[in-house]
């Protein structure tokens, strides 16, 4: 049943215990294990372990991590708008999540297989085993991110417009609890050989995806009501949507703002582990503890900002989160002691989860229901274009300035402050009176 038709408001507890919402949230739990373990922690650690044999090579390791993330995002940019059109034409969401998540899980598993190989052969100037891990990472991340286009769009089927902030906050909070569970894998790699974290991560990713795979149902559009045409005709619809920009000026303005804000988010997620260990001096074990504390901050922030968003509206909530992110990045750039990075990490944790809560809600508020899938595709497009530019810019700076040691990474991180400030300024121009504000 589509809860959009429900007229009786549900209590938060009833909302959170609804089986479709709970299983939907568990997919956030599952894919956040991948995002945390692979994207943020163990792939960067593994890269530094294999390549970062000197101070200059550590900056090169940062470059490899940055470019691998940028390539994965490039492919998503090519397909994300089409995914949104696919949703609007067929109504299928779960079906594509199952396929894309399964491919991502398999590629994650293969990262562990390739990482355990011993080879003296070189490709791109690095061991062939590492090159195969990088290729598997790009595939895994592309299909992980692709599944999220359908996953985010599925949220609007789970409740009323008034319930969206709480559902969004619940999903993000449950997701980041998955981070805590996923980091238990560190017990297997605390003595190094970080590739051993990849296969257990794939298993956890699969296990917690199963509730959504088996419980949630698609509501397909009847075949006689579907728009005829090729999948690639979707590019024409995307062009027409951009031509119709004047009719949806607010949502396009926000997507431009999100482009700059997400630049900081995507790059910080990708580079946090190497920055903390190489620049600030955390050991891998200390970083895991820092990341756990940051994750707890994310969980709390997600829940709290679900209620804040419902109270003051998504636009004002996004503004608060962006300011918090700017402050956290400033502290991180100038962090010379570990306690300073503890503060930065905790603040960024709150802003990270809260940005996803508030931005998804704002997209639902700003978009017409019949084009929501298409706009979520464009939303992913906006975010993933910045996910190319941010890591690529970071990696280029660290590579070009590698002879300057740790200063290279501090300069690279400072560019994220500029991007976030630009995003905030554009966001303030969004004209929107929240229709879900509750006094």
- Residue 437 within a domain: no
Maximum Cα interatomic distance, the chain, rounded to a whole number of Å: 66
What's the number of domains the chain is made of?
1
Phi then psi for residue 126, to 5 deg, are -130, 160
Residue 288 three-state SS? helix
Does residue 138 belong to any structural domain of this protein?
yes
Q: Given this model, what pLDDT does residue 117 score?
A: 87
pLDDT, position 102 = 97
Tokens of 425: 């300024």
Segment 98-122 mean pLDDT: 91
Cα Rg for the chain, rounded, in angstroms? Answer: 21
| 415, pLDDT greater than 80 | yes
Alpha helices, DSSP H, located in 183-283: 198-215, 234-243, 249-274
Distance CA 199, CA 243 (A): 46
Q: What is the pTM of this model?
A: 0.75
Give me the pLDDT at residue 58, please. 61
Range scoring the smallest mean pLDDT among 99-113, 285-299, 301-315, 380-394: 380-394
Q: Is residue 422 part of a domain?
A: yes
CATH (domain of 71): 1.20.1250.20
Q: Establish if 79 belongs to a structural domain.
A: yes
Nearest to 331, CA basis, from 344, 345, 320, 346: 344
Range of the domain at 150: 24-221+247-427
Residue 433 pLDDT grade (very low, low, confident, very high; cuts 50, 70, 90): low
Predicted pLDDT at 437: 42
Four-point Cα dihedral 416, 420, 423, 429, nearest 10: -160
Nearest to 424 by CA among 320, 345, 347: 320
Q: Is the pLDDT of residue 89 over 60?
A: yes
CA distance 344 to 282: 14
Inside any domain, residue 335:
yes
Taking residues 389-395, what's their average pLDDT? 81
CA angle 417, 322, 347 (to 5 degrees): 85
Q: How many CB atoms lie within 10 A of CB 249?
A: 13
Over residues 349-356, the mean pLDDT reads 84
Query: In the predicted model, is pLDDT for residue 259 greater than 50?
Result: yes
Query: CB within 8 A of 27, min separation 6: which ones?
Result: 97, 101, 151, 208, 209, 211, 212
Mean pLDDT rounded to a whole number for the chain: 82
Please indicate, yes or no, if residue 273 is contained in any of the structural domains. yes
> What value does the mean pLDDT take over residues 216-245?
70
Residue 169 binned pLDDT confidence (cut-offs 50, 70, 90)? confident
- Distance, C-alpha 201 to centroid of its chain: 17
Q: Answer whether residue 14 is part of any domain.
A: no
Q: Does any domain span residue 9?
A: no
Task: State mean pLDDT over 272-284.
Answer: 84
- The predicted pLDDT at position 106 comes to 97
**Span 46-62, pLDDT tens digits:** 888 887 655 666 666 67
pLDDT of residue 26: 93
């Amino acid at each position: 049943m589509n809860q959009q038709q429900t007229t009786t408001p549900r209590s938060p507890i009833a909302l959170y215990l609804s089986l479709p919402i709970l299983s939907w949230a568990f997919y956030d739990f599952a894919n956040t294990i991948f995002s945390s373990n692979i994207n943020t922690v163990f792939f960067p650690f593994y890269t530094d372990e294999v390549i970062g044999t000197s101070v200059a090579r550590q900056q090169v390791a940062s470059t490899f991590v940055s470019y691998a993330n940028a390539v994965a995002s490039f492919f998503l940019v090519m397909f994300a708008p089409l995914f949104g059109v696919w949703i609007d034409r067929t109504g299928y969401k779960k079906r594509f999540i199952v396929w894309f998540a399964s491919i991502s899980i398999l590629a994650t598993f293969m990262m562990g297989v390739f990482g355990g190989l011993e080879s003296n052969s070189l490709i791109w100037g690095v061991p062939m085993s590492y090159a195969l891990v990088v290729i598997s990472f790009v595939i895994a991340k592309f299909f992980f991110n692709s599944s999220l286009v359908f996953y985010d769009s599925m949220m609007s089927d789970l409740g009323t417009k008034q319930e969206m902030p709480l559902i969004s906050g619940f999903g993000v909070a449950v997701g980041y609890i998955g981070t805590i569970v996923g980091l238990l894998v560190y017990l297997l790699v605390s003595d190094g050989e970080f590739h051993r974290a990849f296969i257990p991560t794939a298993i956890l990713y699969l296990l917690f995806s199963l509730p959504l795979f088996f419980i949630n149902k698609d509501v397909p559009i009847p075949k006689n009501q579907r728009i005829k045409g090729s999948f690639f005709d979707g590019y024409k619809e995307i062009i027409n949507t951009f031509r119709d920009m004047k009719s949806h000026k607010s949502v396009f303005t926000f997507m431009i703002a999100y482009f700059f804000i997400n630049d900081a988010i995507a790059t910080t997620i990708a580079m946090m582990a190497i920055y903390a260990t190489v620049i600030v001096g955390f050991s891998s074990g200390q970083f895991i503890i820092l990341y756990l504390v940051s994750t707890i901050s994310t969980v709390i922030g997600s829940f709290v900002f679900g209620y804040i968003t419902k109270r003051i509206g998504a636009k004002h909530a996004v503004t608060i989160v962006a300011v918090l992110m700017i402050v956290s990045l400033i502290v991180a750039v100038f962090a010379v002691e570990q306690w300073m990075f503890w503060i930065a990490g905790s603040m960024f944790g709150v802003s990270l989860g809260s940005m996803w809560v508030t931005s998804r809600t704002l997209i639902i508020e700003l978009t017409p229901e019949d084009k929501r899938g298409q706009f979520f595709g464009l939303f992913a497009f906006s975010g993933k274009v910045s996910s190319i530019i941010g890591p690529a810019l970071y990696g280029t700076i660290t590579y070009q300035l590698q002879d300057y040691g740790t200063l290279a990474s501090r300069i690279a991180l400072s560019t994220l402050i500029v991007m976030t400030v630009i995003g905030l300024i554009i966001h303030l121009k969004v004209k929107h009176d929240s229709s879900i504000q509750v006094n």
